[in-house]
Amino acid sequence: METPQDYRCFQAIPLSGSLGAEIIGVDLSGAIPQALAAEITAAFRQFHMLCFRDQTLDLDAYRRFALLFGPFSGNPIHLALPGYPEFVRVVKEPNQDGPTFGGNWHADLTWFEAPPKATMLYVEEAPRVGGDTMFANLHLAWERLTPTLQRMIDGLIGIHSGYGAYGTNAMLKSVKVVDEGWEISRTEVEHPLVPRHPETGRPFLFVNPNVIRIKGMTEAASRPLLDMLFHACTRMDTTCRLVWRSGSIAVWDNRCLLHHAIGDYPQYRRVMVRTTIAGDRLTVTTGAAHVQAA
Ligand code: SIN
């Protein structure tokens, strides 16, 4: 995390040593003054994931809050809520069979030319127990690689495609997939394996299950390296675990974090409203000074 700083509009309580903070003393249901918006933006940059508790948000208030982070990215895969094309409702019913939506380490829509900057979830109904979400910090994953390995992989390009991920999710009952979703998610897009964060310039290890191969290598030859890097991305000491309550809303940086929904609540209902914020094309050209010296 970046250097700690004090905030005047709220208290920020870190959720782990790696990322994440609970923000205390903010009501997001009304207009958000500029000073508060500026501090939320700064805390987002510092902690990468923010959670606000005990909020009562209708979709208009949710939309107002989301727009603090930028315009919506759109989501060509999932069926949106009527009248609110930016939002998707993810529902898991008690004893629903099949896998949990988002129940693996991943990042959202990284096969977009410009992957979403942020993902947000608002809890309409939390399970009585379980259903947490875990997050992993990809800056730390990069910084904990040895300099030799960093030199080997910095400059490589990952090929991202959503087909695998959405092929599975399309079979889930939790969220509806539009008919053309399968085809759309076949797109292949190139991103650096080690982009510089568009706002801070800090490098991060951009490896997730959407990376199907490394440019210039076959899938089979890429796989061992990608598996090893993915393992580095999901080390327990890069993570934080968020315990949801009804009325919690969280926003996280979808570029420098992975997330993982834990499906350990078979007997309970869980209802989340989800959206994503547009990001920038990822490059290696800013913040090169962050690369460790040889
Ligand atoms: C997701 O992958 O967006 C779902 C995360 C969750 O429901 O906890």
Instruction: Decide if 291 contacts 196 (C-beta within 8 A).
Output: no
What 3-state DSSP class applies to 239?
strand
Domain boundaries of the chain, sorted by first residue: 11-280
Indicate the CATH number of 11-280 among 3.60.130.10, 1.10.3720.10, 3.40.50.720, 3.90.1300.10: 3.60.130.10
Judge if the beta carbon of residue 272 lies within 6 A of ligand 1. Answer: yes
The closest residue, in CA terms, to atom 1 on ligand 1 is 102
Mean pLDDT, rounded, of the chain:
91
- Dist CA 237 CA 232 (whole Å): 10
Cα(101) to ligand 1 centroid in Å equals 6
Q: Over range 234-263, report the average pLDDT.
A: 98
Single pTM value for the model: 0.93
Residues 6+ apart with CB under 8 A from 26: 9, 10, 36, 40, 52
Distances (CA, A) of 65 to 5, 34, 103, 207, 271: 22, 12, 26, 29, 19
Cα(287) to ligand 1 centroid in Å equals 30
The closest residue, in CA terms, to atom 4 on ligand 1 is 102
Judge if the beta carbon of residue 261 lies within 6 A of ligand 1. Answer: yes
Judge if the beta carbon of residue 101 lies within 6 A of ligand 1. Answer: yes
Pocket test for ligand 1, best of 92, 272, 276 (most atoms within 8 A of CB): 272
**pLDDT over 80 (residue 35):** yes
Comparing C-alpha atoms, which of 186, 179, 251 is closest to residue 22? 251
Judge if the beta carbon of residue 133 lies within 6 A of ligand 1. Answer: yes
* Pair type for strands 49-52 and 21-24: parallel
pLDDT per residue as tens digits for the range 138-183: 999 999 999 999 999 999 999 999 876 655 554 566 777 776 666 6
Residues 6+ apart with CB under 8 A from 68: 32, 37, 40, 41
